[in-house]
Amino acid sequence: MLAHHAYLCRMPEVTQTKVKTVADTFDIPATVFIQIDAFLIDDVRTLTEKAFMRPSEGDTQLIVVSLTTITVESQQALLKLLEEPPVGTMFLLCVPSSLFILPTLLSRFSTLSLEVDVSEVIDTTELDSFLALPVGERVSMITNQLAAKDMLWVTTLKRQLIAKLANKSFHGNPDNLALLYWIADHLQTRGASNKQLLEELALTLR
C-alpha cells in the first residue's frame, strides 16, 4: 500500500501512454486524469476543486496531472495544496525530466523515475556557445539580444540551462549551483529582470 499522498514522476517525454502506465501501478479505481501543457494558477484552482471532491469509487481517489511546463507562481500555489491535502486524495504529477521544480515543492513529493533504454539527447548548443565566450563578450551579447527583444534566445538559454542542471552537468561550488537553480527558476517570470539574471549567469559560470 502506498503511504505517501503525492508522487512526482519524471520522464524524458511525457506521453499519455507512459502516464497511464505509471498511474495503473497505483491500482486505484477512482483515477482522474488531467492533461495540461502549461500549468497556470487557474489550473491549481481547478485541481484544488477536484481534490476536495468525494472519490467516484471507494475511499481514495488518484488525481494524475501531466504537464510540460509550470510557472513559479503555480508551483507556490500547488505547494499550499500539498501542505494540507484533503483526506482520501492522492496526487501523481508527471513531468519532463528536464523540468525544474522548486525544492520546497519537491520536498512534498515521493519521486518516481521512468527511464528509457536510449538516453534522451538534449541540445544545449546555444548555451554552450554563450559559455564559451569571455565574460565581457557574454555581457555584450546579453545587452544586444535584449535590445533586439529576442525573447526566443532567452527562452532557449533557460530551457538549456534547466536541461544541464537536470543532467547534473555543472560541478564545483555548491553556492554557485544553488544560484544557477535560482536563475533558471526566475528567468522570464513576472517582476524578474531578465538582464540581471542573465548577467548573473554570465558571471557565475567561468
Whether 165 and 184 have beta carbons less than 8 Å apart is answered as yes
Residue 38 grid coordinates? 502549461
Domain 6-113: give its CATH code.
Answer: 3.40.50.300
- The C-alpha atoms of residue 175 and residue 153 are separated, in whole angstroms, by 26
State pTM to two decimals. Answer: 0.56
Q: Tens digit of pLDDT per residue, the chain (206 long)?
A: 344 689 898 887 888 888 988 888 788 899 999 999 899 999 999 999 999 998 888 889 999 999 999 988 899 999 999 998 888 999 999 998 878 888 889 888 887 755 433 344 568 899 999 999 999 999 999 999 999 999 889 988 988 887 787 677 777 666 777 788 788 878 887 778 999 999 999 999 87
Strands 30-35 and 61-66: parallel
